[in-house]
Structure 1
């Protein structure tokens, strides 16, 4: 199926249509949270893939304002660490959830191909810089091994509160069945 080229003009036209036909103005954030943002805001942040088959609000049946959701390619934790620390400072988080899923687009590439492309596209990168990017790439296998690695990376993070890192939870979503399961660091990796 061919993709239609992205058009800023088309998107802005659709936005104007949305603004005039569907948009409802939101009250200020303080009003939404009863005047006390830190006390009454969501206390959970979910880090997940941007894949539309794995949207946390849908697959976990979240209620509006029940959780903050940070998405990136593959749902990897490293790109989300600064956001988690910032959210915690503003909203006083109580729980971090990392969710990966089966048949992720990131599993359709290889680390070797990624390394090759980086070398070709960014020849100014030193070997050390290149390997740092490769090591924390979103490209992964279709199993929960990287999910465990992300949970471990979060637990070792020095700039996020210990209570958050130690209580973090990892979930694996099977996009074929729609079922999620908890993944523990000690458990054997599964597909």
Structure 2
């Protein structure tokens, strides 16, 4: 990201060992055991699956106030449906979801990236990768969240891996990180 403020100072970035220490603390102080899957499914099963961005500011469980077990969530770079379809189809075989939701969000880091920048990074850091392999690396960068959501809605509607009922239910939104509201995209 080239758009860093003049007073930018990187925050502490913990190592895996530090995160493992935090996990021990979590396990000792905060964790409450979950029931096994068969027990969980006796009292709840998600009827909605959400594809959303992996950005910590875009957590559907939080902004949709999901209770445990209500929402199944798949999160990835930009909340892209193309790289989530197989997961959705696999989970649908167990849960038979009623609705599918695609959520992108304002100020998404993807909008700060360029294909050229990603390819340059890959070329520099993967010197053994062939040009053909790098050119085959799929990168989808979009300039507006609405454009990205519309694209993902079409991906879902045209997928051969999803049931008609699930494709017909798909809805898209842009989550506004400032207001906390989901704004529909048609």
Contact residue 46 and residue 70 of structure 1 kept, 8 A: yes
User: What is the TM-score when the length of structure 1 is the normalising length?
Assistant: 0.83
RMSD of aligned residue pairs (Cα, Å) = 2.0
1:187 is matched with: none
Single out whichever of 50-59 and 99-108 deviates more from structure 2: 50-59
Change (3 A) 1:125 1:165: farther
Following superposition of structure 1 onto structure 2, how do residues 25-44 of structure 1 map, counting pairs within 5 Å?
Answer: 25-34=33-42, 40-44=44-48
Secondary structure of residue in 2 paired with 1:154: helix
The structural deviation recorded for 1:164 is 0.8
Matched, 1:109 2:108: no
Following superposition of structure 1 onto structure 2, how do residues 88-167 of structure 1 map, counting pairs within 5 Å?
Answer: 88-122=92-126, 123-126=129-132, 130=135, 133-134=138-139, 137=140, 139-167=141-169
The structural deviation recorded for 1:131 is 5.2
1:19 is matched with: 27
1:69 is matched with: 73
Single out whichever of 116-125 and 78-87 deviates more from structure 2: 116-125
Matched, 1:174 2:180: no
Secondary structure of residue in 2 paired with 1:47: strand
User: What is the TM-score when the length of structure 2 is the normalising length?
Assistant: 0.85
Structure 1 residues without counterparts, runs of 5 or longer: 185-191
2:58 is matched with: 54
1:86 to 77, 83, 90: 90
Q: Distance in 2 between matches of 1:68 and 1:19?
A: 23
Aligned residues: 176
Contact residue 104 and residue 142 of structure 1 kept, 8 A: no
Q: Distance in 2 between matches of 1:132 and 1:149?
A: 19
